[in-house]
Amino acid sequence: MQAFLKGATIQSSRPQKDKVTAGPSAEKKAKAVPWVEKYRPKCVDEVAFQDEVVAVLKKSLEGADLPNLLFYGPPGTGKTSTILAAARELYGPELYRQRVLELNASDERGIQVIREKVKNFAQLTVAGMRPDGKPCPPFKIIILDEADSMTAPAQAALRRTMEKESRSTRFCLICNYISRIIEPLTSRCSKFRFKPLASQIQKERLLEICDKEKLKYTKESIAALVQLSEGDLRKAITFLQSAARLNADKEITDQAIIEIVGNMVNEGYAATQILSQLHDCILEKDITDKQKSAISEKMAVVGKCLADGADEYLQMLSLCSVIMQQAGQS
């Protein structure tokens, strides 16, 4: 019996030994965080360029109270980062996980999710103090990212939940297109539009990351990143990290950036990039206003279809046919 128990202790100690030897490599893997997450704002003051939103949130944080919020605007402008930073300031690192529910509505957008996850979480009451002694607000926060992907019945169910649980829960809806959110929801929220980031703001953030990561770069490469990202800081940081990995010990040049962006364009960004460039070209062309309006209308339809996930090749083909048809009339 003792021999059996000895064997058991020897066997149980092996995994611990393996765990110790695997410790440093596991830690290295844990530290390999995408730069988009690594340099995400940790507090509201670090949010760039969205002065109106930051001012309102700072006032709300001082009184430990928040209205229901609706953030809308182009991707990569800081919508999700802003509300996460505000939640961390409100609750601190200890209570953050207990008091904040974050859902991506594009994955979980049905009425069942609203009835189960959201409703159950909203009904829980909270109170008390934070471990650091600061007062803790008596409400939780539910963040619904990509809320414009929610079905109409789910939005209607959410309206009722927002109404019933107003004392114990605050909601933050995040979307790209506010027109897809039903009126009863928008009327219950303070609405804030996030603007595409100015070139100078993007440049400052990218240079800050380059200095912290000790990257070699040229001025032209930073200018190329700012131009190709079109106000989307998340996209710019992703391009920069890709360039840094491909040019580990070399200087990052504008040609390297253009090549990386070109590869990503071939993987899915092509149609939207072409649309934005084509729009400027059409306005400058010497054609009639009627022809410009017909082409612009088609471009708007194509842009909407692409946002909904339509096939890029077929959409661009239909746009080109309209352009050729209008050109043939002149």
The two three-digit tokens of residue 262, written as one number = 């070109």
pLDDT, residue 93, reads 75
160 confidence band (pLDDT: 50, 70, 90): confident
CB atoms within 10 A of CB 264: 17
Phi-psi label, residue 214: left if phi above 0, alpha if psi -120 to 50, beta otherwise? left
Residue pair 326/291 in contact by the 8 Å Cβ criterion: yes
107 confidence band (pLDDT: 50, 70, 90): low
Residue pair 190/67 in contact by the 8 Å Cβ criterion: yes
Highest mean pLDDT among 21-25, 59-63, 103-107, 124-128: 59-63
- Give me the mean pLDDT over the 105-122 stretch: 68
pLDDT in tens, 206-247: 999 989 888 888 888 888 888 888 788 888 888 888 888 887
Q: For the chain, percent helix, then strand, then coil, each to nearest 5?
A: 65, 10, 25
CB atoms within 10 A of CB 114: 26
Handedness of CA 175, 177, 180, 183 (dihedral sign): positive
pLDDT, residue 100, reads 85
Q: Report the C-alpha dihedral over residues 310, 312, 318, 321, rounded to 10 degrees.
A: 170
CB atoms within 10 A of CB 61: 16
pLDDT in tens, 52-100: 788 878 777 776 678 888 999 888 888 888 888 888 888 877 777 888 8
Residue-wise DSSP of 227-290: HHHTT-HHHHHHHHHHHHHHTSSS-B-HHHHHHHHHHHIIIIIHHHHHHHHHHHHHHHSS--HH
pTM: 0.68
Q: Do you know the residue count of the chain? A: 330
Residue 215 one-letter amino acid: L
Residue pair 77/50 in contact by the 8 Å Cβ criterion: yes
H or E element, residue 317: helix 312-329
pLDDT, residue 154, reads 84
Cα Dmax for the chain: 98
